[in-house]
Amino acid sequence: MVHQTLTADVLVVGGGTGGTAAAIQAARRGVQTVLVSEFSWLGGMLTSAGVCAPDGNELAAFQTGLWGAFLQELRSRQPEGLNHSWVSMFTYDPRVAAQLFTDWVQALPNLKWIAKRVPIEVFKAGNRITGVRFSDFTVNAQITLDATELGDLLALAEVPYRWGWELQSEFGEPSAPVAHNELTRQYPVQAPTWVAMMQDFGEGGEAPEIPTPPQENPNQFIGAWENYIGDGERFVNYGRLPGGLLMINWPIKGNDYGEDLGRLVVSEASRQEFLQEALWHTQSFVRFIQTHFGRRYGLAENIFPSPLSPNSPGGGAYALHPYYRESRRLRGLTTLREQDILPMAGGKVAALPRDAGGQVTAVALGNYANDHHYPGVDFLLAPKSIRWGGRWTGTPFTIPYGCLVPESTEGLLACDKNISVSHIANGSTRLQPVVMNIGQAAGMAAALCVQLGCQPQDLPVGRLQESLLKDKVAPSIAPLFNLPSQHPDWLHWQRYYLDNPDAYPSSGNCPAAFVFSSLKQPLADEFSGVFHYHDTQTYTITLSKPTSHAGQIWKLITLQPEVDQQLLTYTEGQSLILWGYLNKPGGWLVVEKVICHVVETGN
């Protein structure tokens, strides 16, 4: 076979969440782009890793950019909607999402996608990366993006990176350990999870028995759902998807796997050894679930295109690879620390990051809580969760552009979990929506570097921010709870706070008037009932209509800023008429719009 040499403006190595977004953004900007993925599906965490219940950026104002477009397209392709589980506001069939990404990529004539390849060698000219060799071809490019699941390109290119914990003395992070201890030695990074898809075959169903893996220890799973058992449905509905599918990604004595995690970055042989053990661990867990709850639940069929190897169990029930929560992490121009993701004193948002000259450097936003996974360990972190819309969410924070850029290596950007971030802060930056936002920013930066003839280190961050904000699928950069991108003043306030960071409100609310939509969401129904106030941001409703739900009590939550403000003003006993939809696993009535409320008055 002839070894080909391809030439591109931008090369994206890795087709995960960040890499797919980066390649799409770069190509849409007009540069010649090559995307090389390890797997036959694009999307990584969102698809091939099976995490079809994404966390973070769920509030309406944060559903922007490619992340917002992804949700909008999912809604149009999945007629059952995205409202099926209690762990996430959005759940979907991974096959639908994988096809969505394929369609987006194939619609771009200047984007060439090559699947089932991994990088073998990185070429340099001095300190600048010029190309990457794969098994049967080489790609030479002006800008290369490392979007691999474990930061493999950083290691191949000998770009300085971090792996493991930083002590409190390094960054002054409140949750970092003072000295290395048993936890830091046992778990240098967060544990991955090999996700499986189970199927609810319904009452009286008789699923095939899940076979016993070569390594099995069912006792390790005892107590996995003891706080969630209820009638048995609360646990299994944790990650319920359309069509009776059940995503198994359970952290409490579940299928997180963290035995000798260093094997992931020592050699290919040691990585494969770890992967096989992680897969058997998940097989053992799903067998434990079936043994406990009965043959109503079994493995789903033909969800993923192929198993890991001919000897892998399940016939498409297991994800193509684990859900990696942490990878090698770039040593960049800026390192995001725990302090950078925590709320300002007395506020609900993190401060906007600035450079030495006072310019805001933010290019992407996230808002998930700081969530770390170490099997069998309850690791406490500085709190960053807040209540909003009747439910828990996370403090919004932003990613500085310098986190994507190496300290000295030219021709390279990071765009997945491998950005320059501390081990502690990685617990918030690793989630699917923020990684998708990072990918979009990196793709735009790479395209601008090509068009301006500059290196990533020299790209003016203001130029990148303006290009993102004016893009056809524009992401929010400054987090503002009360300003969805459809608002007519959205662009003004985004620009205003980037130019005037001292004016950025610690409440996360700008002085813009609410815009109340008169449109009814396709899956929303009309409900009426009596409002009950329990505490700030804690509400329920006793329904009177529809009559099929009369007398039932549901928690009231919302993702819409105008509805959040309305709920804050209602008092005990008020009658409401609203549009929304029920989420049975969560016990929620998700409110899209309040039609009217009635204030009872005395004679």
Per-residue model confidence as pLDDT tens digits over 396-417:
999 999 999 999 999 999 999 9
CA-to-CA distance for 540 and 576, rounded, in angstroms? Answer: 11
pLDDT in tens, 89-143: 999 999 999 999 999 999 999 999 999 999 999 999 999 999 999 999 999 999 9
Question: Nearest CA to 101 among 194, 12, 16, 32?
Answer: 16
Residue 521 has pLDDT above 90, yes or no: no
**Distance of alpha carbon 234 from alpha carbon 84, whole angstroms:** 12
Q: How many CA atoms lie within 13 A of 77 on its CB side?
A: 18
pLDDT tens for residues 167-185? Answer: 999 999 999 999 999 999 9
d(CA 278, CA 339): 33
Mean pLDDT of the chain: 94
pLDDT at 309: 45
**Residue pLDDT, tens place only, 318-376:** 999 999 999 999 999 999 999 999 999 999 999 999 999 999 999 999 999 999 999 99
Q: Is the pLDDT of residue 522 over 90?
A: no
What average pLDDT does range 200-219 have in this prediction?
A: 92
Say yes or no to pLDDT of 476 above 80: yes
Where do the domains of the chain lie?
Answer: 4-160+360-371+398-476, 196-299, 525-598
- 228 or 540: which carries more pLDDT confidence? 540
Q: What is the pLDDT of residue 603?
A: 43
Would you say residue 222 has pLDDT above 60? Answer: yes
Q: Residue 596's pLDDT band (boundaries 50, 70, 90)?
A: confident
Percentage with pLDDT > 70 across the chain: 96
Question: Which CATH entry fits the domain spanning 4-160+360-371+398-476: 3.60.20.10, 3.10.310.30, 3.50.50.60, 3.10.580.10?
Answer: 3.50.50.60
Residue 231: pLDDT band with limits 50, 70, 90:
low
Q: Per-residue pLDDT tens for 415-429?
A: 999 999 999 999 999
Q: Is residue 234 very low, low, confident or very high in pLDDT (cuts 50, 70, 90)?
A: confident
d(CA 79, CA 75): 7
The reported pLDDT for the residue numbered 520 is: 72
Asked if pLDDT for residue 601 goes beyond 70, the answer is no
User: What is the arithmetic mean of pLDDT over 223-239?
Assistant: 82
Q: Which are the contacts of 588, defined by CB distance < 8 A and separation ≥ 6?
A: 86, 391, 554, 555, 556, 557, 582
Position 227 scores a pLDDT of 84
Residue range 525-598, CATH number: 2.40.50.140
Residue the block writes with tokens 């007629």: 79
Tokens 């290196």 found at: 455
User: Of 182-196, 215-229, 262-276, 553-567, which gets the smallest average pLDDT?
Assistant: 215-229
pLDDT of residue 230: 65
Cβ-count burial 61-95 (b if 16+ within 10 Å, e if not) = bbbbbbbbbbbebbbeebeebbbbbbbbbbbbbbb
Q: Which H/E stretch holds residue 385?
A: strand 385-388
What was the pLDDT predicted at 597? 79
Q: Are the C-beta atoms of 530 and 572 separated by less than 8 Å? A: no
pLDDT at site 518: 65
Q: Which of 269, 13, 219 is nearest to 123 (CA)?
A: 13
